């Protein structure tokens, strides 16, 4: 039984991670189309996913939510690395490849970012995108983020050092 929605977007519900989500999350982070674009390294089994859940998802101050279409999980979104003193957090997200192209990532990113501004008193939400991940860059731009710069060769993906593009949205942005 999944939990109730914590946040509602236009097309998705964002809810807490429950025990029954761990297999879906494990499958997602092990999918090459997901991990190579999210800067995650190394495979995870269910036990490792549980440890990640307990250590990172349950970390004080972080916000990690399952992106759901109705009852069905389709991905994950979160605000991590919360710096309360400066009002800054890092946005991260992924959507299972079977659900790409439905606007779920954009809706989830926009919804959790607005939550960060309105309920957590954040001033800045930032995100990183591997340079070749044009779809994720589009997600951020549609969610109101601005491209700020490039960190050359900052990620090692597919046997090569790749650029990482930085995006951010401020609470004062329209």
Digit-by-digit pLDDT tens for the chain (174 residues) are 466 779 999 999 999 988 888 888 888 877 878 877 777 666 666 676 667 666 655 666 789 999 999 999 999 999 999 998 999 999 999 999 999 999 999 999 999 999 999 999 999 999 999 999 999 999 999 999 999 999 999 998 888 999 999 999 999 997
What does pTM read for this prediction? Answer: 0.89
Residue 10: per-residue pLDDT: 97
Secondary structure (H, E, C), the chain: CCCCEEEECCCCEEEECCHHHHHHHHHHHHCHHHHHHHCCCCCCCHHHHHHHHHHHHCCCCCEEEEEEECCEEEEEEEEEEEECCCCEEEEEEEECHHHCCCCHHHHHHHHHHHHHHHHCCCCEEEEEEECCCHHHHHHHHHCCCEEEEEEEEEEEECCEEEEEEEEEEECCCC
Please, what is the Cα angle at 73 between 18 and 7, to 5 degrees? 75
Q: What is the dotted CATH code of the domain comprising 5-125?
A: 3.40.630.30
Show the CA angle centred on residue 32, arms to residues 140 and 157, nearest 5°: 70
Structure tokens that stand for 93 in this block: 């997200």
> What is the C-alpha separation between 81 and 103, in angstroms, rounded?
25
């Amino acid at each position: 039984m999944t939990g109730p929605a914590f946040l509602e977007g236009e097309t998705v519900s964002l809810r807490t991670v429950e025990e029954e989500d761990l297999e879906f999350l494990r499958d997602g982070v092990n999918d090459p189309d997901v991990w190579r674009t999210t800067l995650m390294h190394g495979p995870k089994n269910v036990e490792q996913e549980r440890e990640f859940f307990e250590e990172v998802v349950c970390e004080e101050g972080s916000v990690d939510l399952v992106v759901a279409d109705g009852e069905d999980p389709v991905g994950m979104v979160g605000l991590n690395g919360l710096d309360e003193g400066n009002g800054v957090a890092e946005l991260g997200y992924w959507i299972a490849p079977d659900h790409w192209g439905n606007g779920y990532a954009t809706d989830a990113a926009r919804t959790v970012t607005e939550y960060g501004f309105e309920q957590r008193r954040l001033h800045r939400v930032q995100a990183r995108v591997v340079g070749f991940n044009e779809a994720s860059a589009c997600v951020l731009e549609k969610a109101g983020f601005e491209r700020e710069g490039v960190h050359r060769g900052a990620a090692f993906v597919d046997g090569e050092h790749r650029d990482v593009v930085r995006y951010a949205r401020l609470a004062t942005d329209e």
